[in-house]
Structures are given as structure tokens and as C-alpha cells.
Chains A and B, each alone.
Chain A
Amino acid sequence: PAKAEGPYDVFAGGDFVPDRYKLQKQVPKPPYKKDVARDPHYTTGGYDVRDYYVQAMYEAFAGLGVFVDDEKEMSGRL
């Protein structure tokens, strides 16, 4: 939600700042996969491995602190 006062916010309050992880400047290379970041088949087409990294990191930590059993029992509806 956008705030009524304060400095101008480019993202209108919708900016996503992760709390439990930090993205690295360099995408770490998993040891067991081929290095697509430097493969011209991928890079010339505009594939950016960083986007994959951002998405994967989000998925690895999203909902880590969500405890379905407790929360759903408490809200009491299906």
C-alpha cells in the first residue's frame, strides 16, 4: 500500500525485498549442471541465468515460516 506521506516510492510500496535470503551479485554455479550462463546457445537469445536464480531462490525460501496446520486450524475454515 502506498503511503500518503514520505519520499516518493518508485514501486508504490510493491517492492519485494526478501527477508531470509540475499541474492549474490554473481550467480553461483551448481556443480552438477552445465554452465548455461556462458553458453552462446542461451546468451545470444537473451536468456539470463540470473532470472532463473532469482526465481529459484524465492521458491526455496517462500513459505518457510508458513505453518499450514496451525494457521488453517486457527482460521477454522476450509
Chain B
Amino acid sequence: MAAEDARYRQSTQYKLWSFSPAQLSATREKTNALAKATISERLLSRPPPAASAPTSGSNTPNPSSQMQGAGDLPEFLTPAEELRLLNHYTAELLRASDFLQYSVAIRATSAIFFRRFYVANSIMTYPPTEMLKTCLFFGNKVNGVYLHAEQFAANFPKTTAEGILAGEFLLCQGLRFAFDVKHPYRALEAAMFELERYGDVDLTRLGTASKTARDILKFSPLMTDAYFHYTPSQIMLAALSLADEELYDRVVRETFHLAHTPAFPNAPPQSRKAAAAAEEKSRLLGPEMRDKVRAAIASCRSMLAQEPPARMTGYWGTPAQTDAVKPSLRKLRKCRDPDRFDLVALHKARREQALRNGDADDEDGRVPAGSSLDGDDDAAVFGNVEERDAKRRKVKKGLEDPFGGPL
């Protein structure tokens, strides 16, 4: 195993956020089914008038929405529709990022955060329009740019700092606290370093290829699931091969230059260790590995080719695109989670819950660790906490103040 591969396998991107296509689609279907189950349970349990309140936001009066709540459930989004909406909102995010002139790293990190969040969370559960802005805000933070929340919110209409911060911790949980996203942009520059080093490549051609590949990297892998299925170096080479096939060939040829001949038959006998090292080296850099890498890059390439950068403007406000997502949006308006779609209210409910727990027997009113932040926290926020509370009180009584009693 190559040292650099071993190191990549240690990253959170590989450990937590890399899947095979089958696994990813299975996860998405599961998320969708789970959201459907919880939302229908919630709609059925609550009184009818409150359930139809959120639909008042739509300006088209909908007779069917008034009927809803009395036992019959709305039509839910399918996983395919969720994916289409996800792509739609990813494009929106990229557009917002371009408008605010963020760097490529921030732009890409935010987009990947957004896509990762909606792997294990459904679009019906949390509002994508709000999470999009939270992703941008948090993407800045992760890249070392600490924006003022108020000023950031002022960039968007009908947005408050409160609304952006309400989703922030939720996003962190959704990301499973994996904040380091590896991008292929710097890798592309290294490919240019390498090509320049070979000495016989036309420099203007290099400049053009680099620019085209960068444009591809700025759009295609963010709009597809490339980050989930391929490593940054493979994505970079796939983009390079789309930009200039010959240059890509050259890089691969120079990298995997060793022919697969274990040892020279007439060479003086080596020590066993040296022979093993040479064998390993030729396995890493030989033709077999080269063909496997080529195959992976070819499939990545066909994935990127589905979303060429020319399509970018197609996502924005064209009648065709609007018509494509409109039915899904209309459906979403009816089937979203009544309790959790409003992030600000949800955040407030959680805080109040935590504070109420704290007030009961905590003088300083601090939020007890893990009170409403556990994975299974529905009960804590939406009532039914007496049991847990009693337990905590019992535990607390036994605890002494670690710094001794008051003087």
C-alpha cells in the first residue's frame, strides 16, 4: 500500500463520508423512509388546525391543504425527488457563494457540507433554504474565515443571524463532526507542476487545460456524488482528462512508469528485503495498478460529464428548471415536518428545555451536558422528560462539588 494512500485512509473523508453507490442510495432511501414515518406519526398525533398552519406561506390557496390533518396524510417526496431538490439547492448555494465572491475552498466546502447533511437527514425534515445559508456560514468558519453573523445575514433577504445560527449545531451533528473536506484544487496545480517538469509540454496548452479543468472542478464534482465515491486525486485527474485527454495520459504514464518485471534475471542476488521492496514498488507503479486507476478515473469522468460547467446557468431561474422542481416544491410544502421545519422555533424549544432542566436544581442555570443534545432527543424537546429528569436529579444528589463546599 502506498504511503500516501494509507494516509488518505486515515482521513474523516474516507472513514465517514465515502460510500459505494449502492450504499449511498440505500442510505438515502432509508433516510427518506424514516422521515416519512416520523412525519406521518407527528401529523396524525397533532390536532388538525395546527397542522395546516404552515401551508399559509404559499400564495396559492390550496383547497386540499384544508382537508389535511383529519387522518389523511400528504403525499411525501420520493428519494428521486429529494435528490433533484438537493441538486437544485446545491446550485443555489453555489450561486450565492459566487455572488458573495467566496474562495473556491469555501465554496466547495459549503456545498459538500450541504450534500453530506442531506445524506442522513431528509429535505422534508429540515428546510434546505435555511441550511444552505448555514452551510455557507459554517464553510467560512471551517476555512478560517470568521464572519460576523449579522453582517452575513444582511447579504440575504428575509434572513436574520438567529436563523443562521439556529441550524449551526444541527449541521455539525449532521456532518458527524467531520469538518476537514479534501478538495482537488491544489492537486490540480501539482499536476501542472508535474507536467511542467517533464519539460516538453507546450505551456500555453498547459494553461488552457488547467483553466478548463479548474472550471470543471468548480462545478461538476459538487453537483454530483463524486466526493462520496472517489478520492480528490481521482477527481482531479478525471477533470484533467475531460479538459485535455493527452495531458492526462501523460501524467498517468509518467506516474506508473515501472514495467511489471519483478527482478532482472541476471542481476546479482539481492537481499530478501530489497527484493520484497522492489516487488512492492513494481506492484504500486506497474501496469496492473495503472489499469485499475484508469478504470476508476474513467467512471469518475463519466459522472462528472453528466454535469458539465456549461449547465451551471441552466440551474438558475430558467423556465425549464423551474418547471422541473416546481411540483416537488409544492409537494414539499405540504409534507414537511411540522415541528422541525422551523429551525428558529426548534432551537428555542431545545434551549428552553435545557434551561428548564437546569433551573430545577441548578443555581447557575448552566445547561447540563448532553441534556437535549443526545441523538434520540425528540422526547426532550417535545415533552415527556419527567423520567429522565428524575433520574438526573437522583444522580446529581450523589455528586459533591469538585472544589469543595462554600467557605
Would B210 and A32 count as touching, CB distance under 8 A? yes
Question: What are the residues of chain B within 8 A of A30 when measuring CB–CB?
Answer: 189, 192-193, 196, 206, 210
Seen from chain B, the residues whose Cβ lies within 8 Å of a Cβ on chain A are: 1-5, 7-9, 14, 18-23, 27, 182, 184, 186-194, 196-197, 203-204, 206-207, 210-211, 228-234, 236-237, 255, 281, 284-285, 289, 292-293, 296
Q: Is the C-beta of A35 less than 8 angstroms from some C-beta in chain B?
A: no
> Separation in Å of the B23 CB from the closest CB of chain A?
6
- If A28-B193, A56-B189, A66-B5 are given as contacts, then 4 extra A-B residue pairs at C-beta distance below 8 Å, sorted by A number, are A64-B234, A64-B255, A68-B229, A68-B230
Indicate if the CB atoms of A63 and B14 lie closer than 8 Å: yes
Contact B23 A78 (CB under 8 A): yes
**A30-B192, A65-B284 are known contacts. Are A59 and B232 too (CB-CB below 8 A)?**
yes
Instruction: Please determine whether B190 and A63 come into contact, CB atoms closer than 8 angstroms.
Output: no
7 A-B pairs within 8 Å (CB atoms) are namely A19-B3, A20-B4, A62-B232, A63-B5, A64-B237, A67-B296, A78-B23
Whether B3 lies near A72 (C-beta < 8 A) is no
Given known A-B contacts A29-B196, A73-B22, A58 and B4 have beta carbons under 8 A apart: yes
Across the interface, do A19 and B19 meet the contact criterion of CB distance under 8 Å? no
Whether the pair B194, A60 counts as a contact (CB closer than 8 A) is: yes
Per the CB 8 Å criterion, the residue count for chain A at the interface is: 34
Residue A31 at the chain B interface, CB threshold 8 Å: yes
Nearest A residue to B235 by beta-carbon distance? A63
> Out of B2, B14, B21, B232, which one reaches A69, CB within 8 Å?
B21
Q: Is the CB of B206 within 8 A of A32?
A: yes
A27 at the interface (CB under 8 A from B): yes
Are A20 and B285 touching (Cβ within 8 A)? yes
Given contact pairs A64-B293, A68-B229, A28 touches B196 in the complex (Cβ within 8 A): yes
Q: How far is the CB of A21 from the nearest CB of chain B, in Å? A: 7
| Chain B: minimal CB distance from A49 (Å) | 11
Interface residues of A in 19-78 (CB under 8 A from B): 19-21, 24, 27-32, 52-53, 55-70, 72-73, 78
In the bound complex, how far is the Cα of B192 from the Cα of A60, in angstroms? 10
- Summarize B's interface: helix, strand, loop or mixed: helix
Contact of A72 with B4 at beta-carbon distance under 8 Å, contacts A31-B196, A61-B255 already known: no
- Which residues of chain A come closer than 8 Å to B191, judged between CB atoms? 60
A59 contacts B281, C-beta separation under 8 Å? no
Q: Which residue of B lies closest to A19 (CB)?
A: B2
Q: Are B289 and A65 in contact (CB under 8 A)?
A: yes
Asked if A11 is at the interface of the complex by the 8 Å CB criterion, the answer is no
Q: Is the CB of B8 within 8 A of A66?
A: yes
Among B197, B206, B285, the most chain A Cβ lie within 10 Å of the Cβ of: B197
The answer to whether residues A31 and B206 also contact, given A63-B233, A66-B231 and a CB cut-off of 8 A, is yes
A65 touches B206 (CB 8 A): no
Closest 9 CB pairs of A and B: A63-B231, A60-B190, A63-B8, A56-B190, A60-B187, A32-B207, A31-B203, A19-B2, A62-B4
Q: Is B193 a contact partner of A27 (Cβ separation < 8 A)?
A: yes
A16–B5 CA distance with the chains assembled, in angstroms: 11
With known contacts A28-B196, A28-B197, A29-B196, A62–B5 Cβ distance under 8 A: yes
Complex: how many Å from CA A31 to CA B195? 10
Q: Tell me the complex Cα distance, A64–B206, Å.
A: 22
A62 touches B193 (CB 8 A): no
Chain B positions within 8 Å of A68 at CB level: 14, 18-20, 228-231
Report the Cα distance A66→B14, complex, angstroms: 9
Contact A60 B234 (CB under 8 A): no
- Cα A27 to Cα B187 in complex, Å, equals 15
- A19 — which chain B residues lie within 8 A by C-beta? 2-4, 281, 284-285
**Cα distance A18–B5 in the bound complex, in angstroms:** 9
Q: How far in angstroms is the closest Cβ of chain A from B306?
A: 17
> Given contacts A31-B203, A60-B236, are A65 and B2 in contact (CB under 8 A)?
yes
Nearest CB of A to B73, in Å: 29
- B186:A59 contact, CB within 8 angstroms: yes
Cβ-closest chain B residue relative to A30: B192
